[in-house]
Structures are given as structure tokens and as C-alpha cells.
């Protein structure tokens, strides 16, 4: 049985061409700064995002953590959404390891943080308060449905932060999905930010890795922190080569994943017992809710879908997430819609 794995775009395996590039990569000891492939990836990433320098890190979680530790001192505060990945899914690392305080404000349904809410979250200069140091935006915003923050909105947040002497970090795990979805140059989306992380290991199909970009001084500091965290890798060119291949070949095609997400949302809109949260999803994610008349527990629906060869993500009671990616074809989308119909027809 061909498995349709829609749990996440992290399940993507490297393509055959990517494996060839990995095998052929010249390597060296990157802790000595001597891996030419890592150096090339870092330069390419920085150039692509319009920043001075880049740092290859093992994961997006480490990229965000390194960024926060480089920007903040102990006791400082970071403003982010209640649905931010850094708040929900990074093990509380910024607090556990950096003594940095998250100040969360609600994500609106479109993924944004309202400018008013950001403004009122920023603390006055008073010894009673922590020092507000950083704002984190997430683009695409995962938990809000893979929604895309515009360049204009990001600019407004950057202006507000900078006016108040705060910095802006963008958790751009899927920033290329955002750029392709909007049809804009990724540089425009991240221009106001001091730092950005993006993932190579999601829709871009590399097996491992993220890149953190920012100014030369910032990356110099971040490099030291990566070492402290145990993220200095040796002949990492083997995996960086997949990242280079991804930047060169896997970005423009993300539009296909977006097209298939729309196809999936459209197909599922016709399934009784399901409510599609965003009928015309902007990137590669489809979130659905199970209506109350379906008595079958959420986990069991997922199990029955898996028996039919479709893996889906359970993201709450009566809520599923499906993510399209390189290894999902149109037939997989059709099969998923058919499987949902079959499972839910038996479940009323
Ligand atoms: C996946 C993801 C990350 C980083 O995840 P890793 O698994 O550590 O690479 C960060 N932010 C967002 C929004 C993500 O979706």
C-alpha cells in the first residue's frame, strides 16, 4: 500500500538528486570553519534573504533558541503569539536555558499579532518590569492554518518594535512557502527583521537542518552560542549539500504543494462530518474539525485513516492537520478525501 503521509512536511525524504549532491559534497571540519559546503550554504542563504551572514544549525528549534539567546539577556522579555511555535513546541528552551521570559499575546485568525496588543505588551522603563527586548513573528503561521503574514504587516511590526528599541526575529520555518504563496521576493518579507530562521528539512526536502541569518555581528555572536549548545558539527557539508540543492531546486515548486492543499480543502469541504477551517488555504496546510454528530473519538478516526493508508496529524480534540509536500501527488489527495468519506460514513 502506498502511504499518504500528511502529518507534516517534516516527513519529506531527500530526493535521489539530493542524495547524489550529498555524496559528492566537499567537506571539512566546520567547527574550524573549514567546511566549504557549509560555508557556501550559509552564504547562499544570507544572500537569498538579503542579510549579511548565515549560520547552519541542526534544527529550527535551535535556530530560534540561538537567536533569542543572542538578542536577549537573562530576565529579558520576548513578545510572541500564544500560538507561536517557540511558545508551544520548543520545550520552553528560551526560559530553561536563557532565563528569557515569554510574553504572549493572542494570534488573530489571520496569524497576526495586533499592533495595539504588541504596543501594550511593551513594558515601560521601570525597575518593576522585565525589559522588553524582542518580538517574534512566525511566517507562515503554523497553528493558525499556515497563514501568511504580508510584507506590509511585517514592516509595521518592525517599525513599531524599532521605535520602542526592540528587535524583530522571524521564525520563518516556512518563509519560502510564504514568499511563493504571495508571489513576492522573500527578501521583502524579512527585510524589517534583525534575524530569521528557516527550515531546510520541511517542504524543501533536506534531511536535516535550518539556517539562521542576520547581520555579521549577530551571526558572530550566534556562532558562539551554537557551540555552547552543542550545535557545532564537523563534516556537516554532507547535510549542507542537501540544503544547497534545496535552495536551488525546491523553492519554486512549493506552489504545487499549495495547489494540492487547496484541492484537498475543496475535496474535504464536501465530506459530511468535517468542517474545513480555511476553504482556500494560503500555503500547504489544511486544518479540519470534526462535527459534533461524529461520535468516533479523534484518535480512532486517525487510526482508521491510517488503516486506509492515510496518516494525518491530530492537533486537538476534534481537530486534524494535513500538510502537503513533495511526496504527495494528486492521487494521494483524492485517496485522502475518499478515505475520510469511508471512515466518517461508518461513524455517525
Ligand atoms: C518546524 C518548525 C520549527 C522548527 O522545528 P524543528 O523541528 O526544530 O526543525 C520552528 N517554527 C515553526 C513554525 C515550525 O513549524
Task: State the 10-residue block means of pLDDT for the chain, 348 residues long.
Answer: 93 97 98 97 98 98 98 98 98 98 98 98 96 98 98 98 98 98 98 98 97 98 98 98 98 98 96 96 98 93 97 95 97 97 86
Please indicate whether residue 321, judged by its CB atom, sits closer than 6 Å to ligand 1.
no
CA of 341 to the centre of ligand 1 (A): 31
Pull the grid cell for residue 92. 520552553
- Best residue for ligand 1 mutational test, from 91, 142, 285 (most atoms within 8 Å of Cβ): 142
CA of 178 to the centre of ligand 1 (A): 15
Secondary structure class of 162 (helix, strand, coil): helix
Please indicate whether residue 173, judged by its CB atom, sits closer than 6 Å to ligand 1.
yes
- Check residue 346 and give its pLDDT: 77
pTM: 0.97
Nearest CA to ligand 1 atom 4: 60
Q: What is the 3-state secondary structure (H, E, C) of 324-336?
A: CCCCCCHHHHHHH
CA of 84 to the centre of ligand 1 (A): 10
Residue 16: CB partners within 8 Å, gap ≥ 6? none
CA of 264 to the centre of ligand 1 (A): 23
d(CA 56, CA 102): 25
Atom of ligand 1 nearest to the CA of 62: 8
CA of 173 to the centre of ligand 1 (A): 6
Secondary structure class of 231 (helix, strand, coil): coil
- Check residue 270 and give its pLDDT: 86
CA of 126 to the centre of ligand 1 (A): 34
Residue with cell 544549525: 57
Nearest CA to ligand 1 atom 3: 60
- Check residue 347 and give its pLDDT: 76
- Best residue for ligand 1 mutational test, from 173, 229, 321 (most atoms within 8 Å of Cβ): 173
Q: CA 244, 249, 250, 255 torsion: positive or negative?
A: positive
CA of 289 to the centre of ligand 1 (A): 23
DSSP designation for 31: G
DSSP designation for 9: G
Please indicate whether residue 177, judged by its CB atom, sits closer than 6 Å to ligand 1.
no
Amino acid at each position: 500500500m502506498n502511504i499518504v503521509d500528511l502529518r507534516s512536511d517534516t516527513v519529506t525524504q531527500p530526493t535521489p538528486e539530493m542524495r547524489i549532491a550529498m555524496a559528492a559534497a566537499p567537506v571539512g571540519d566546520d567547527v574550524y570553519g573549514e567546511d566549504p559546503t557549509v560555508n557556501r550554504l550559509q552564504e547562499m542563504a544570507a544572500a537569498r534573504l538579503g542579510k549579511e551572514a548565515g549560520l547552519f544549525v541542526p534544527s529550527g528549534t535551535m535556530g530560534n533558541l540561538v537567536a533569542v539567546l543572542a538578542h536577549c539577556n537573562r530576565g529579558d522579555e520576548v513578545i510572541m503569539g500564544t500560538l507561536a511555535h517557540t511558545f508551544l513546541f520548543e520545550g520552553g528552551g528560551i526560559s530553561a536555558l536563557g532565563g528569557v521570559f515569554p510574553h504572549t499575546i493572542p494570534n488573530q485568525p489571520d496569524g497576526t499579532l495586533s499592533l495595539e496588543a504588541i504596543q501594550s505588551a511593551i513594558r515601560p522603563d521601570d525597575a518593576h518590569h522585565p525589559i522588553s527586548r524582542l518580538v517574534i513573528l512566525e511566517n507562515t503561521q503554523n497553528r493558525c492554518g499556515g497563514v501568511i503574514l504580508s510584507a506590509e504587516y511585517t514592516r509595521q511590526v518592525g517599525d513599531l518594535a524599532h521605535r520602542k528599541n526592540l528587535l524583530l526575529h522571524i521564525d520563518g520555518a516556512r518563509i519560502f512557502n510564504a514568499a511563493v504563496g504571495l508571489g513576492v521576493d522573500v527578501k521583502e518579507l524579512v527585510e524589517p527583521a534583525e534575524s530569521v530562521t528557516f527550515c531546510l528539512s520541511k517542504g524543501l526536502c533536506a534531511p536535516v537542518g535550518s539556517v539562521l541569518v542576520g547581520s555579521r555581528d549577530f551571526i558572530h555572536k550566534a556562532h558562539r552560542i551554537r557551540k555552547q549548545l552543542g550545535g557545532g558539527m564537523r563534516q556537516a557539508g554532507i547535510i549542507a549539500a542537501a540544503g544547497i540543492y534545496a535552495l536551488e531546486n525546491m523553492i519554486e515548486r512549493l506552489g504545487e504543494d499549495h495547489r494540492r492543499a487547496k484541492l484537498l480543502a475543496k475535496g474535504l469541504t464536501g465530506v459530511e462530518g468535517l468542517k474545513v477551517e480555511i476553504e482556500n488555504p494560503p500555503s500547504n496546510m489544511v486544518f479540519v474539525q470534526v462535527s459534533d454528530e461524529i461520535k468516533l473519538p479523534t484518535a480512532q478516526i486517525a487510526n482508521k485513516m491510517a488503516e486506509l493508508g492515510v496518516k494525518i496529524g491530530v492537533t486537538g480534540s476534534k481537530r486534524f492537520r494535513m500538510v502537503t509536500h513533495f511526496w504527495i501527488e494528486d492521487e494521494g489527495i483524492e485517496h485522502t478525501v475518499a478515505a475520510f468519506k469511508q471512515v466518517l460514513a461508518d461513524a455517525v
